[in-house]
């Protein structure tokens, strides 16, 4: 791949990761709203809080530079194999 192709591949990967993280943040926001709305239903709140904890764990794992760098390398390797 040329340098220009590598730049394009990097942009695609960054866009993909950013969309993935934004989706998780939106899911987190929605769950927080659902928890507030279900305040009287302890069982429902418990289920929603469990889902929220999973989302927060995934966010903390993915929303950092190390994750982005690691996945950028993997994505470039895949693109090199398919190109």
Cβ proximity of 31 and 51 under 8 Å? yes
- Return the structure tokens found at 31: 């769950």
The pLDDT mean for the chain works out to 86
Residue 67, pLDDT score: 85
pLDDT at 35 over 60: yes
Choose among 38, 35, 31, 19: nearest CA to 57: 31
Run of H or E residues at 55: helix 42-62
Stated length of the chain: 83
% the chain with pLDDT above 90: 53
pLDDT at 1 over 50: no
Cβ proximity of 72 and 13 under 8 Å? yes
């Amino acid at each position: 791949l040329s340098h220009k192709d590598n730049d394009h591949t990097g942009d695609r990967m960054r866009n993909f990761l950013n969309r993935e993280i934004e989706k998780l943040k939106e899911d987190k926001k929605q769950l927080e709203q659902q928890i507030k709305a279900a305040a009287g239903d302890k069982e429902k709140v418990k289920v929603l809080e469990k889902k929220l904890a999973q989302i927060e764990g995934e966010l903390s794992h993915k929303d950092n530079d190390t994750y982005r760098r690691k996945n950028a390398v993997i994505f470039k390797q895949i693109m090199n194999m398919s190109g």
